[in-house]
Amino acid sequence: MTVTVLPASLYVRPCPNRRAVSYLSDGRQVVWEPREPGGALAVDAELLGQSVPPALAARFSPVSNEAFFVAWTRVECAAKLRAIPLLVWLRDRGLHGDPQLRMRTIVSGDLVVTIGQNTAKKNGLKPTAPGSTVRART
């Protein structure tokens, strides 16, 4: 599985069930195209160097920025895959993910990236391939 980080000068559109895209606050895009696409896909990425927003820090008391953004990206992916608004998810579940969804989180360079796939049997999804890399294009 490869996740690609693209510079702000390039634009890639999401493609349901084939490609998931997340946009970083610095303008870069994180793109995930699984080798064997199928079913609902999601990706979320955050910059490690950014601060946890004060309101979220007060509510969730994170141990570290990295721990917070790992949990945050997992929740963002779960909410996307379940089609639940993020604020509703946070109200009902806090920073707890969904064990029925297949998730993988990668911390690499200045990024935390989580990819997610709905693994419900009715979707006929295959598990994601082992091994992960994050490539950056400049």
Whether 134 maps to a domain, the answer reads: no
CB-CB neighbours of 116 under 10 Å: 29
Whether 136 maps to a domain, the answer reads: no
Number of domains in the chain: 1
Mean pLDDT of 10-21: 74
**CA atoms of 50 and 64, how far apart (whole Å):** 11
pLDDT confidence of residue 122? 46
Q: For 95-125, write each residue's pLDDT tens digit.
A: 998 988 989 999 999 999 999 988 665 434 3
pLDDT band at residue 133 using 50, 70 and 90 as cut-offs: very low
pLDDT confidence of residue 33? 85
Cβ partners under 8 Å of residue 122, min gap 6: none
Whether 138 maps to a domain, the answer reads: no
Q: Which of 31, 27, 33 is nearest to 12 (CA)?
A: 31
Q: How far is CA 80 from CA 10, 58, 85, in A?
A: 24, 24, 8
Expressed as residue numbers, the domain containing 100 is 2-125
State the pairing for strand pair 20-23/29-32.
antiparallel
